[in-house]
């Protein structure tokens, strides 16, 4: 009976290796989610407010609202 | 005002509310970070048969998971305190308006120059005109000048109420026998809605607040017409 010697499988440190890989993975995933929220939601929101107020004319806005008839004090 | 299926805050109308929005984004980002990490670790633990049952101590990781949360808490506390103190800043209000909570309406008093006061009752649903908002409209709105700091003094004539306008980031309890102060500053004209925010009896949900922010000139001609 001919038998080829198989390579000895990795038998130790399996959990430690798994943890090493996944700690790094967990770090990147969680920081990635935070970065996604920051650059997908938080920064666009800041920009939206900055853009809105950059050229905002409150008197023009008021006149449009007044013509629409929504105010009690200014008809 | 609020709209159906709304998930987040109303659009900010005051600088303080803008700061609160950005602070909430910052804190929610941290919440998502921690929740994702915990979810990842739980699913990791549930998806292996490998075990390690003879750990005696683990000084390094214990240090990390003590120091890192402390840092995260400081990262939340510092902006929080910044906004807290910002909300308390003296900003030389041009006008002082008093509001008293009653069961079940608000009354407003402008007593800086002359005596002007009126009650503000909710408009019943059966009396709404087309386009008006159910349970939010009032007969006499609180009319104020925009782009000016205004001091609000809030109290109650009977039970606890709370004067809240979410779009301006305002919520102040109306407590009988106590005078609470808050400052109001709207960057835009328009109508801003709020509702009583402290349980006060059967019609607690039916005593809304409506702010009408107009230019100073319009405010002056309105107030002189009311006297």
Task: Output the pLDDT for position A1.
Answer: 53
pLDDT tens digit sequence for B103-135: 999 999 999 988 999 999 999 999 999 999 999
Q: How many CA atoms lie within 13 A of B98 on its CB side?
A: 14
**With respect to CATH, is domain B15-88 assigned 3.40.1160.10?**
no
- Residues β-bridged to residue B183: B151
Three-class secondary structure of residue A50 per DSSP: helix
How confident is the prediction for chain B on average, in pLDDT? Answer: 95
The first and second tokens of residue B216, run together, are: 């100073």
Question: Who's near B66: CB < 8 A, 6+ residues apart?
Answer: none
- This prediction has a pTM of 0.91
The first and second tokens of residue B72, run together, are: 């995260």
- Residues β-bridged to residue B210: B193
Q: Is residue B12 very low, low, confident or very high in pLDDT (cuts 50, 70, 90)?
A: very high
Answer yes or no: same fold for B15-88 and B95-226: no
- Domain covering B95-226: architecture: Sandwich (2.60)
Q: Which of B121, B92, B125 is nearest to B104 (CA)?
A: B121
ipTM of the complex: 0.88
Break chain B into its structural domains and give their ranges.
15-88, 95-226
Residues of chain A with a CB closer than 8 angstroms to some CB in chain B: 14-16, 18, 22, 25-26, 29-31, 33-34, 37-38, 41-42, 45-46, 49, 53, 56, 58-59, 61-62, 65, 70-74
Task: Output the pLDDT for position B90.
Answer: 77
Max Cα-Cα span within chain A: 104
d(CA B30, CA B9): 18
pLDDT tens digit sequence for B68-97: 999 999 999 999 999 999 998 878 999 999
Which of B18, B26, B143 is facing A72, going by the closest CB pair? Answer: B143
């Amino acid at each position: 009976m001919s038998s080829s010697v198989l390579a000895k499988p990795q038998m130790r440190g399996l959990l430690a290796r798994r943890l090493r890989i996944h700690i790094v993975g967990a770090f990147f995933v969680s920081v990635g989610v935070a970065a996604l929220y920051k650059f997908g939601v938080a920064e666009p929101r800041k920009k939206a407010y900055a853009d809105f107020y950059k050229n905002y004319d409150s008197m023009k806005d008021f006149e449009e609202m007044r013509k629409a008839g929504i105010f009690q004090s200014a008809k | 005002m609020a709209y159906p299926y709304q998930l987040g805050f109303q659009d900010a109308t005051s600088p303080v509310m803008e700061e609160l929005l950005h602070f909430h984004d910052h804190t929610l980002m941290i919440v998502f970070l921690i929740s994702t990490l915990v979810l990842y670790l739980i699913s990791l633990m549930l998806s292996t048969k490998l075990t390690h049952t003879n750990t005696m101590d683990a000084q390094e990781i214990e240090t990390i998971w003590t120091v890192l949360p402390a840092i995260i808490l400081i990262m939340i506390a510092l902006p929080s305190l910044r906004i807290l103190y910002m909300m308390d800043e003296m900003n030389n209000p041009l006008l002082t308006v008093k509001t008293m909570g009653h069961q079940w309406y608000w009354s407003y008093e402008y007593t800086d120059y002359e005596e002007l006061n009126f009650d503000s009752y909710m408009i019943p649903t059966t009396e709404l005109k087309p386009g008006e908002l159910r349970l939010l409209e009032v007969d006499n709105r609180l009319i104020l000048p925009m782009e000016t700091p205004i001091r609000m003094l809030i109290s109650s004539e009977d039970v606890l109420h709370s004067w809240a306008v979410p779009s301006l980031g305002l919520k102040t309890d109306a407590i009988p026998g106590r005078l609470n102060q808050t400052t109001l500053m709207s960057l835009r004209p328009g109508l801003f809605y709020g509702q009583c925010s402290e349980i006060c009896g059967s019609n607690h949900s039916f005593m809304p607040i409506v702010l009408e922010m107009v230019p100073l000139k319009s405010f002056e001609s309105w107030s002189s017409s009311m006297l």
